[in-house]
Chain A
Amino acid sequence: MTDLEFQPKIIGFLCNWCSYRAADLAGSTRTRYAPNVRYVRVMCSGRVDPAFVMKALSLGADGVLVAGCHPGECHYLEQNYKTMRRMTMLQHTLRQLGVEEGRVRLVWASAAEGHRLAKAIDEMVDRIRSLGPLRWPAGWQERPEVLAAIERVASEHASAAQEVAT
């Protein structure tokens, strides 16, 4: 029950020409779906650099959604195929870094597919909720005894220096 209190923070990069409109449509048709995605509108899914995704995770996002036009329908010809290859490459790398399957997703949704996008978001939120928070930056923290050690070294040196001086 208390698990439901975890609200995943998801960053969504949405293509201006299709998925962003799909989100608009979902809104104007009052489709009910999870409110966990913060949207960033990009001109094309091909604009999404793997660095954007990793930066989002490193800043505390629990997941990242990238959404674009269906294959063959990108307004910049082939860019969404590149996105697909890039995301495959990124997911391959993230797996080795211990990021679970499902935290980073690529979805195709046309401007008419508000429902499809809403459903994908619901699924993604469910999945991430069951995985739990990612809390990436917390993984950089050293253990308390390590933090204490550095202060001890510093104070030992300081008192030794004082002894020499007096």
Chain B
Amino acid sequence: MNAETKPKLALYWAASCGGCEIAVLAIDERILEVAGAFDVVFWPCVMDGKVADIEAMEDGSIAVCLFNGGIRTSEQEYMARLLRAKAKVLVAFGACAQDGSIPGLANLLDRDTIFRQNYVESPSVDNPESTLPTATTTVAEGELHLPAFYDTLRTLAQTVDVDYFLPGCPPEADRIWDALSAILAGDLPPAGSVIGARTTVCEECPRTRHEKKVKEFKRTWQVIPDAETCLLEQGLVCCGIATRAGCGARCPSVNSPCIGCYGANDGVQDFGARMMTALASIIDSNDPREVQRIIATGIPDPVGTFYRFSLANSFLRRSRRPVAAGAAAGAATRGED
């Protein structure tokens, strides 16, 4: 097949770590089959390409776009809109695009706090004038623009319509290959669905399960768990119960609890809520004081534990932001008389 007749493929990254890009290459020599089957028109991480070339293309002329990363700046949002228009099938690739993932945990803060921390307060930063990035700077030659930085990181689907989700941090090579083959064969699930398993990590986990009752939650550094029993039964917060299968239970297989990188399984609307429900059920106490203590000491960072990969895609999306401008103006002025 020559480049004209091959379906076009684009890959892009936004607020992500770059691991998803590596994951695509982790399909090993099958990458040659991808190159054989698709005409790769845009992939800034590995080849030169110009946004203007994409803008010049007809809408819908890219067969598939694999988009990783959440949306944190105006530039990323622009690229998401552009690639949405040009791609027939837009895939939210990986945990960041799907659920916000680790960058989404910054939704516990806001832009000003993040900037202050990163550009002023961080011990390794030398910035005596406390200069902060601004979206607009005026110089002698005119105005210069940087992408504007959002207070709240959004998922790809909160920004544009997404056709499919490929979960994982990063997606496993075999699952990527499955998805690409399915796209090539035109053998796809209904739009809007996750390309992946319909069960939880527990189903793939080799450990044995009994009735769960715990008096204490432990952190991984406090114990060396036994290799056979369910980690949750041993008091470790393992997220396998809420997490979609697909990884082959990699972490529990090596004595490390699941942290939920594959995101919520089908039917789980809010990952953290499912974890809270499950963990609350197994606490072996009916005494409110003792329950308080078990939770407060065993789970010192509930958001980081229950929403490590999904804060931006949870019902609440972020921590409370006192809305100073615009929206809450009414509240601020009320009661002043």
Contacts and interface: CB of A to CB of B under 8 A. Distances in A.
B319 A146 contact: no
B203 interface: no
16 contacts: A50-B273, A54-B270, A57-B315, A85-B281, A86-B276, A92-B302, A97-B319, A98-B320, A135-B328, A139-B152, A143-B325, A149-B145, A153-B75, A161-B56, A164-B56, A165-B56
A152 interface: yes
Contacts of B161: none
Contacts of B56: 161, 164-165
A161 B326 CA distance: 34
A97 B322 CA distance: 12
Interface string A127-152: 00000111110111111111001101
A32 interface: no
Contacts of B285: 85
Nearest to A149: B148
A85 B325 contact: no
A76 to B, nearest CB: 13
B154 to A, nearest CB: 8
A23 B317 CA distance: 33
Interface in B268-300: 269-270, 272-274, 276-277, 279-281, 283, 285-286, 288, 291-292, 295-296, 299
Contacts of A82: 280-281
A135 B325 contact: no
B334 interface: yes
Contact of A135 (B286, B323, B337): B323
Given A2-B334, A2-B337, A98 B326 contact: no
Given A58-B317, A93-B303, A85 B81 contact: no
A149 B74 contact: yes
B284 to A, nearest CB: 10
A136 B152 CA distance: 13
Contacts of A86: 276-277, 280-281
Nearest to A5: B334
A144 B303 contact: no
Nearest to A97: B319
Contact of B301 (A96, A161, A165): A96
A141 B281 contact: no
> How many of chain B's residues touch chain A, expressed as a range?
35 or more
A84 B288 CA distance: 7
B269 A138 contact: no
A58 B78 contact: no
Contacts of A93: 272, 276, 302-303, 306
Contacts of B296: 92
A27 B112 CA distance: 49
A49 interface: yes
Contacts of B334: 2-3, 5-6
A85 B273 contact: no
Interface string B162-185: 000000000000000000000000
Nearest to A95: B302
Contacts of B276: 50, 86, 89-90, 93
- Looking at A81, A93, A141, A143, the one whose CB has the most chain B CB atoms below 10 A away is A93
A84 B315 CA distance: 21
Given A3-B335, A133-B331, A149 B135 contact: yes
